[in-house]
Amino acid sequence: MVTMSVSQLINPHVKHLAASLIREVADAAMGRSDVLAFWFGEPHESTPEPICDAARQSISAGETFYSQNLGLPELREGLAVMLNTWHPDAASRITADRVAVTSAGVSGLMVAAQLMIAPGDRVLALTPVWPNLLQSVRLLGAQIQPLALEIDRSTQAWTLNLAKVIDALASRPKALVINSPNNPTGWVIAPHEMAAIVEACRRYRVWLLSDEAYTKLVFGPAARTNQGATAPSALDTAQPDDPVIVSSTFSKTWQMTGWRLGWLVVPNGLSDEVAKLVEFNTSCAPVFVQRAGLAALALGSAPIEAFRARLEQRREVLLSGLAAMPQVHCPRADGAMYAFFQVPGHTDCLSLARGLIDTVGLGLAPGAAFGEQSRGWLRWCYAKPSSILEDGLGRLQQGLRQLRAA
């Protein structure tokens, strides 16, 4: 009798799932004191103290039990109030019954994918994009059809070919996945582009999953033209009955990556379906983490703006440093916390990323992690103090010299 190995017994969608290339590079050098690490998208600072205090108090008060699947009612209400202040001109007010608290962005994205996707579905995705967004969809057996962002020749900025996206929506895929402000490019969608996409999704009955994890991290013209430095959102024009899901997280805006807290805004009448999915994924976010989330909301807009302003300064340090290097090409973009750049002549970003670690102790993420089209690219998270960024820039300069010479 031929016996199948246990690995042959696992779900083929899992077997075919690619491991994270960012992890692959980082794992080999994590913890090395000689390596400056910019590979993950994490703020440098730890979580503000009032948020930590709220969690400590909640644990001390014995809040160590399950909560409702969709989260504490007061947190759902608080999120709805906050979203209405972030999007004051939204086509319709966001109500708490459409908000689901999730165990951070990744879990919210999985729940959203489970709500929309069946095996064999075709899903459009604007790329390059953070790999986890697509992997949850692949895991459910859908095929991804990438639609590439482009670089405008005259402005050298990332840009969307809107006509191409609308045409693709007319072919009635199951869903379109967008992430703006974008990880890894920093691209921020324009208000008219988001409005046109929401309208087309409504017309063609295509799901729009809009990952807005970095919505409060916009800079330059994008910060000045949008209300209170908020990126254009699908919530600005979506009606409660539209096939639109918005996903977000506490991780970046409040420096809470390790807490695992996020939220979804879903169409009217679907919260019960979402509650079922949360039940079978995580059952609920821990209550003391939700209390921390409430404390974050209570801090208001000042710490968010202060964080954004700090990042804007750091972004300037990194972008001007990269612009001064003739061997680097970094298209401009106005959001998130990354510089995404190409080193012409280097087509294998994995070996380039490894080479920079080995020669000068510089830890960057390989572009290939974000899609086929960015094989020669590198991503650098600039959520670090300027002195560290400057040290990194010096290392990049030296590393590229050494790697060319080698």
Ligand X SMILES: Cc1ncc(COP(=O)(O)O)c(C=O)c1O
Binding site for ligand X (CB under 6 A): 41, 104-106, 130, 179, 183, 211, 213, 249, 251, 257, 262
The least CB distance from residue 20 to ligand X, in Å, is: 11
CA neighbours within 13 Å on the CB side: how many for 355? 18
One-letter amino acid at 76 equals R
CA dist., res. 181 & res. 192, Å (int):
15
DSSP one-letter string for 356-369: HHHHH-EE-EEGGG
**In the complex, least distance from residue 130 CB atom to ligand X, rounded to whole angstroms:** 4
Q: How far is the CB of 397 from ligand X (least distance, A)?
A: 27
- CB 186, min distance to ligand X, A: 11
- The stretches of 35-117 forming alpha helices (DSSP H) are 49-60, 73-86, 104-116
Question: Which residues have C-beta within 8 Å of that of residue 17, sequence separation ≥ 6?
Answer: 135, 138, 139
- Closest to ligand X by CB, 99 vs 360, is 99
For residues 121 and 140, give the distance between their C-alpha atoms in angstroms, rounded to a whole number.
Answer: 9
Q: Toward ligand X, which CB reaches closer, 148 or 323?
A: 148
CB within 8 Å of 359: residues ≥ 6 apart: 398, 399, 402, 403
Nearer residue to ligand X within complex by CB, 23 or 202: 23
Contact between 101 and 283 under an 8 Å Cβ cutoff? The reply is no
Q: How many angstroms separate the most distant Cα atoms in the chain?
A: 70
- Minimum gap (Å) between residue 359 Cβ and ligand X: 27
DSSP code at position 4: P
C-beta of 183: minimal distance to ligand X in Å?
4
Tell me the residue nearest to ligand X as measured from the CB: 105
Angle ∠(16,283,131) on CA atoms, nearest 5 = 30
- Residue 182 or residue 399: which is nearer to ligand X going by CB? 182
Torsion sign (Cα): 254, 260, 264, 270: negative
| In the complex, minimum distance from the CB of residue 167 to ligand X, in angstroms, rounded to a whole number | 25
51 or 403: CB nearest ligand X: 51
Alpha-carbon distance 350 to 386, whole Å?
Answer: 26
Question: Smallest distance, Å, CB 90 to ligand X?
Answer: 21
Amino acid at 313: Q
Of 30 and 324, CB closest to ligand X:
30
